[in-house]
Structure 1
């Protein structure tokens, strides 16, 4: 038991620091890294030079490709704000309907899902919540529906980086992992639009009259996400799902508009947007989508060529180490940067402005850099030293073959602690894989359980202090008791979600 305590010490610290002490993640995560270093050397016998190389490998993985993708996607968003494209997108969305139930689905689920797929890291809650509150929707309700909507695409955030990272940790096929995540999300994903309307409308009566829209929104999202995951992998699944959802909502509203005046918002008319303005507003995101498709495995001639531009280096020197490969062009981050610079040039944005926005982006992300590097280095040290294996062995000893039933719950704890599907996959992915191996799971079942780590993290974000804080800050209502109100509401949703996910993973694992 003493060994188990030191194995979970970094995780215990993160729970205490982030949930109780309310420390910022960029301050808490380096302490977790120091604790993992101390425990790995003094209690798990990992030599200092091996420990240092584990930290170095974690830093390499953090910088390339994870931080590269994060920086590129957030830069795209910031440049869109700078050029005025984001305001035009907002005007186009709000012109679809005056019924706030439709606007909630379109902005929180559709556009929010698009932002999550492109950028992630709070943008999918902060931006749609502020838009909805600005239209006159109850601010707390606006944040609540954005938190619920974010459950569906969270695992595919920032061009699929949570699942790309998890597949790298496991050494498994990202396409299979993404497909399993889409399957696990699908049932609750279909239910989310109905729940969002009920929350905003003050009860299930509000769903009456918008059932076709809710069905179209949920169905188009989960089916598109599943299809893209199966054929392409995780990178474009969230973005494609959001695009199809927005299209489905607009299409259904055009043919079956809701008729109840009690849900109509009284607001100023949205400013008109010309076709040229609309084209340039969406241009960065369209270019990213097209270029990611062209450089994916769907176009082998391009993919195989650029994949050859790589460097493999053996960083971790101990047992179990394998060469780490840097793909210098065939990585989403480089594609996104190129698409964003190209769109900026086509819009005749001055190079100086693009450089200033990039500088602003990097400066704003410095705490994120510290957080991601620390958490990945911690995960690598815990993995190589045997700390995660120790935790997994004790967990399996306590649960036995019932372990798949709690896999999503363990992932949700990570989502609650970190507020990030990416960080959860990094922190707990190896633990879930070791536990799956310990119960004799097949390779497919191991991937299924790893997928539960990601879907559980999506559920945990419903009640994550960081997610709630981002939403409350976006509506300008910090410190008025809104945080606790959202936490209580989030718990009412989280508990049935995590129970249903546990049942789904357990019975689904039996089929594998």
Structure 2
């Protein structure tokens, strides 16, 4: 019976990893399988199956797809207005040492792109930039795969953790805090690992870079934790990335690195970017930060009235169903769109131009949109039918109280299969909390184990075929997928093992 409960997930493993079927087709068929199994073996009625599907569509469209479309639109608009060219110029003017540039662009700016847009931009853009300024393309892709691991849980304005909260019923701020704590050791190690890779694996590469690596790590982790624990997941990694970039630039000025072995060719013919041009280029992203901060729980005078503008609808009428709430204004997607249109206008784009960019963005995301709708609908059908609960009971029967050790591994499998931390949280979030309840975990530990799904998703992002394909495309080198996968696996395995130990022993402190 459990194999049939697992059938939609097993189908996704086979379809995506072995048959290499496009995600939107594989996930659409997984939805069909979940409905058939739910109705045939779990006594789910056709009406309830349809209602579960509709609730999945509602969750997918508002807020998940709204945020994704708005975030990618903001990035595409900055490309259209040439604002991104100015940002690139500002970043590459900081130092001529390739290790510093790899940290600044791969770790700092890559984290910023993950927090703002996600969905591959944090690998594609930094890797392309690094290769474009003369860094070995394979090295550029490799460091960006490492750098993109820990910010993944907070991608696209925190949508994986927001979604995990919606799926599990856990508080998103608690999940964001726990995820940050679980990832902390790896957040502190990432800049050191990237610097080692940048120097060909030699410890000599750390010479003169230790202070900068520590500053880059602490500059990321401290703001991320403060924002995650006070405001929630939306701006946590954005704050961390800004802190990391500031720390790296500060160190580059205070402790300049001048090692001829890692020096990049100088570009003295380029004019420096003026402050006005820099602010104009960064304006859409600055406005996103300001709008999300202003409407956060930190400013109740704005947050509370805006959150009253909402509608609640009971979509699923079966057992376990609850009204689904649409928050119409105080939702990140709406605020990101507003910031993008204002910023684009200041950068000289007309309203018609911006609508054209938005239309192209939606068109380019059409398969992603279908994938997310179907995978979330699949998870809803499996959850309401009782399939997820049966899988959880089987997992607990096999592992007992040691289940937390494999929670992060399960999350990583979800991202490996789908390429998305959001999809992993949808597929396995409910499984994690059901398993935690089955071993008698307290509510706090249930959230801790649910957060492990997002933590594991970060590890899975490194080895996801989708991430590797994006990295290969961005550096313009063909036939190196296997080489990059072999590289990423060396970091994925210890990552998952360490996460398993952190989750297992950490539950004692939370519970």
Q: Same fold (TM over 0.5)?
A: yes
By how many angstroms is 1:19 displaced? Answer: 1.1
**Cα deviation per residue 1:291-335 (whole Å; 9 max; x = unaligned)?**
111111111111111111111000001100000000010100001
**Alignment partner, residue 9 of structure 1:** 7
SS at match of 1:12: helix
Alignment RMSD, CA only?
A: 0.9
Equivalent position of 1:179 in the other structure: 177
Measured in 1, the distance between the counterparts of 2:22 and 2:143 equals: 25
Q: Extract unaligned runs of 5+ from structure 1.
A: none
1:234 corresponds in structure 2 to: 233
Partner of residue 448, structure 2: 448
Provide the rounded CA distance (Å) in 2 between the counterparts of 1:23 and 1:273: 45
Query: Equivalent residue for 1:248?
Result: 247
Indicate which of 24, 45, 48 corresponds to 1:47: 45
Shift of 1:207: 1.5
Listed one character per residue, the Cα deviations across residues 210-266 of structure 1 (whole Å, up to 9, x for unaligned) are 001100011111121111101111000010000010000000111111131100012
Deviations 1:137-193 (A, max 9, x none): 111111111111011211000000000011111112111110000000110110011
Q: 2:312 aligns to what SS in structure 1? A: strand
Answer yes or no: is 1:364 the counterpart of 2:364: yes
TM-score of the aligned structures, taking structure 1 as reference length:
0.98
The aligned residue for residue 318 of structure 1 is 318
Separation in structure 1 between the aligned mates of residue 348 and residue 499 of structure 2, nearest angstrom: 48
Match runs of 1:397-436 below 5 Å? 397-436=397-436
Q: Deviations over 1:391-441 (max 9, x none)?
A: 000000000000001101111111111111111001100001100000000
Quote the Cα distance in structure 1 between the aligned partners of 2:220 and 2:380: 34
Q: Is 1:135–1:267's contact at 8 Å kept on the other side of the alignment? A: no
Which residue of 2 is the match for residue 150 of structure 1? 148
- Is the Cα contact below 8 Å between 2:412 and 2:459 reproduced in 1? yes
Alpha-carbon shift at residue 267 of structure 1 (Å): 4.8
* Local SS of the residue matching 1:289: helix
Superimposed CA distance per residue, residues 433-466 of structure 1 (whole angstroms, 9 cap, x where no aligned partner): 1000000000000000001000001001111100
Query: 1:185–1:222: 8 Å Cα contact kept in structure 2?
Result: no
Given the alignment of the two structures, is residue 207 of structure 1 paired with residue 203 of structure 2, yes or no? no
1:69 maps to which residue? 67
Q: Relative to structure 1, is the Cα distance of residues 271 and 124 closer, same or farther in structure 2, using a 3 angstrom cutoff?
A: farther
**CA–CA distance in structure 2, aligned partners of residues 382 and 107 of structure 1:** 41
| Residue 45 to residue 267, structure 1, CA distance change in 2 (3 Å) | farther
Unpaired runs of at least 5, structure 2: none
Tell me if the contact between 1:110 and 1:242 (Cα under 8 Å) persists in the aligned partners: yes
Residue 110 of structure 1 corresponds to: 108
- Judge conservation of contact 2:81–2:348 (CA < 8 Å) in 1: no
Partners of 2:206 and 2:452 in 1: CA distance: 30
Q: Report the TM-score, using the length of structure 2 for normalisation.
A: 0.98
CA–CA distance in structure 1, aligned partners of residues 349 and 409 of structure 2:
47
1:473 alignment counterpart? 473
CA shift, 1:346, in A, is 2.4
Q: Does 1:130 align with 2:128?
A: yes
Match of 2:87 in 1: 89
Instruction: State the 1:510 CA deviation.
Output: 2.1
How much has 1:476 moved relative to structure 2? 1.4
- Whether the aligned pair in 2 keeps the contact of 1:408 and 1:452 (CA below 8 Å) is yes
Number of residue pairs matched?
A: 508
| SS at 1:325 equivalent | strand
**Displacement of 1:274:** 2.0
339-348 or 218-227, larger mean C-alpha shift: 339-348
Tell me if structure 2 keeps the 8 A contact 1:108–1:145: yes
2:488 aligned partner: 490
Alpha carbons 2:130, 2:140 under 8 Å: kept: yes
